[in-house]
Structure 1
Amino acid sequence: MRARTIFLIVCIVLVAAFAALNVDEFTRSSVLSLGFTTIQVPLGMVMLLLLVIATVVFLASTLYMQSANLIETRKYARELNAQRELADKAEASRFTELRNYLEAQSTATLQREAANATVLAERLAQTQAALVQRLEQSDNATAAYMGQLEDRLDRNIGLANPR
């Protein structure tokens, strides 16, 4: 229990004990003026009745405020849960969009890499063919130079050794 509730219960018990101990004084009649008339009633009982009415009104208003507060708190909790669910769905949607975007980027990157690999392979094949052609030309040129040198040697040897 809260401290206020305990304090209220203790006060009610103390007033009830006080009234029980002084019941003779509370029930003694007195003349009371209501402004336009006078009546003869026990003053202690009137004061006790006013205290009970004030306590009941206080408890009723407290109960009403607490129940209204509880209802409002539950309403806010439901709204908060609804907003949290919306946020979770939006976040999940963003994650899905991000995953789709990353997958698209990954696919595009793989396609670019495959295209680059194809272009590289073609260029490598062209370079290899050009190199083979150049080597064949170099071999032919070397063979032609060698043939010319052999012819010169044969001519020079033929001139030096006339038979």
Structure 2
Amino acid sequence: MQIRTLFFVIIFGAIGALAALNWEAFNTPTALWLGVATVQAPLGLVMLGLTGALTFYFLVCILYLQSSVMLEARRHAKELQNSRELEASRFSELHRFIEEEIQAVAKQDAEAQSVLLQRLDKLDTGVVSAVEQSGNTLAAYIGELEDRLERGGNTITPNRPV
């Protein structure tokens, strides 16, 4: 129980106990001046009635304030929920965008890899043909040298400095 509620119950109980213990004094009629006329009425009951009316008024004010606070809190909760849903949709949209970008990058990577492999194949073919041509040229030079050796019988001497 909150301290304010406890305080209210204690004061309300004290007023009730005071009225119960002094009921005869509360019921004793007295002349009351109302500003325009004088009336015979029990002052205790009038004051007790006014205290009850004041208590009722404050309870109505408290209920009104509490309900307005609850409605405001509900409105804020709905706004917060809408914000969360909006953020969730933005997050899912960002997730989808990132996935699309990753797929596009993967596709570009695959295309680049394909182009690179084609170039490597062309280079490999070029290197193989260059090696074959070099081999053929070397074989032709060797064949020519053998022919010269067989025809002339000249020995090949290395170049010596003179």
TM norm. shorter chain > 0.5: yes
Unaligned runs of 5+ in 1: 156-163
Name the counterpart of 1:32. Answer: 32
Tell me the secondary structure at the aligned position of residue 10 of structure 1.
Answer: helix
Tell me the secondary structure at the aligned position of residue 99 of structure 2.
Answer: helix
Name the counterpart of 1:73. Answer: 73
Please tell me the residue identity of whatever aligns with 1:126. G
Name the counterpart of 1:159. Answer: none
Residue 154 of structure 1 and its aligned partner are, at CA, apart by 6.1
Name the counterpart of 2:12. Answer: 12
Name the counterpart of 1:42. Answer: 42
Aligned pairs for 1:5-154 within 5 A: 5-153=5-153
Name the counterpart of 1:161. Answer: none
1:30-87 Cα deviation digits (max 9, x unpaired): 2221222221211111111111011000011101111111112112111211121111
Moved more, 139-148 or 45-54: 139-148
Residue 151 of structure 1 and its aligned partner are, at CA, apart by 2.5
Residue 12 of structure 1 and its aligned partner are, at CA, apart by 0.9
Please tell me the residue identity of whatever aligns with 1:78. K
Moved more, 36-45 or 81-90: 36-45
Residue 149 of structure 1 and its aligned partner are, at CA, apart by 2.7
Unaligned runs of 5+ in 2: 156-162
1:64-122 Cα deviation digits (max 9, x unpaired): 11111111211211121112111101110110010011011111101110111111111
Residue 132 of structure 1 and its aligned partner are, at CA, apart by 0.8
Please tell me the residue identity of whatever aligns with 1:37. A
Tell me the secondary structure at the aligned position of residue 35 of structure 1.
Answer: coil
TM-score, reference length from structure 1: 0.88
Name the counterpart of 2:3. Answer: 3
Tell me the secondary structure at the aligned position of residue 41 of structure 1.
Answer: strand
- 4+ residue stretches of structure 1 with deviation over 2 A? 149-152
